Amino acid sequence: MRGLPRRQSRTRIAIQIRDFDQTVIGNPAHDVIRLALSLATASRGSDLPGVTTARILEQIIEGYQAALRQDADTIDDAPKSIQFVMKKSVARSWKHLANERLENQKPTIPLSTKFWPLSRSEKADIAELFRTPDLRHLATSLRSRDDDAAVDVLDAAYWMKGCSSLGLLRFAVLLGIGTGKKRNMALMDVKEAVKAAAPRYVDQKIPKDQAKRVVEGAMHLSPHLGERMVAGHINGRSVFIRELLPQDLKIEIGQLTVPDAMKAASFLAGVVGKAHARQMNEKVRKAWSIELERCRTKKLDAPSWLWSSVVSLIGNHETAYLEHCRIYALQSAGK
């Protein structure tokens, strides 16, 4: 899970969860494990000492539990490393987003190894999608645009964002909103929603439409993101759409010092904890907090299931990656 800085006004920034593809109503431990795995992986890929990974897990539990104990909407002061990202977020504009995502500020998406051309039928499908009332409203509702402003698809491309994009619909869509001097642009991310692999509670009602499941999860856990997401369909395939804003930045811990990494881990765990706490009544929060105190050792102030889960998942990932490299090497040698 990653922080999502989002500009609310000239002085307020919200940091919330941003990845909801696997959102279900289920065991909150899975989100804690996911966060721990992300931070542990980042720590291992940095210059931080190896033991830092274990200490990060301790800080995750500390920050997460602190968030469960207090008012869910209270946001403590962020550590300096995250304050830097927040200040950077406030100062960003469309030009920054265009230069990063599109490599230029022209009303086109430059084709590259990241952006692939679309067929005529795919372009027609995207144009039809953005003519629907929900998508028109999404495009005009942000950044104080006129409700009746013209919305035109200027360009679109298949967006290759890692192996997870392959075989699924993933488009970058550049919109022109308004006319004349008042016209501005918006970059939309269109992503296919598939059935979640995460375990869910079978007695809870969850939207059957996969994109609606993703959007509803975002609305509950990260309202600032959920309010600028819409579910739709392309050729019967469920997709969710959101506008990419210049203020959307990832929080990286790879270049931090050990103390900063500890503080960042605790703070980000608090973000997840607050999102979870909003979904729980007092009785459930108390019971879950008590559960988090169990299965701890004198040497590691974190539940043993968290440590064993992270170790197992990292081990599985490394094994699968090395096996992939071996097979690739054998196939290349045989050519």
Q: Summarize pLDDT for 103-158 with one digit per residue, the tens.
A: 555 578 888 888 899 999 999 999 999 999 999 888 887 666 677 788 889 889 99
Q: What is the pTM of this model?
A: 0.79
**245: three-class secondary structure by DSSP:** coil
The pLDDT value recorded for residue 85 is: 59
Report the C-alpha gap between 228 and 138 in whole angstroms. 6
Q: Which residues of the chain have pLDDT under 50?
A: 1-11, 72-75, 94, 96
The pLDDT value recorded for residue 149 is: 81
Distances in whole angstroms, Cα of residue 121 to Cα of each of 10, 43, 74, 75: 42, 44, 48, 47
- Distant-in-sequence contacts of 28-32, Cβ < 8 A, 24+ apart: 28/276, 28/288, 29/305, 29/306, 30/198, 30/199, 31/1, 31/272, 31/276, 32/60, 32/61, 32/64, 32/269, 32/272, 32/306
> What would the two tokens of residue 233 be?
């369909």
> What would the two tokens of residue 213 be?
């499941």
Report the C-alpha gap between 150 and 139 in whole angstroms. 10
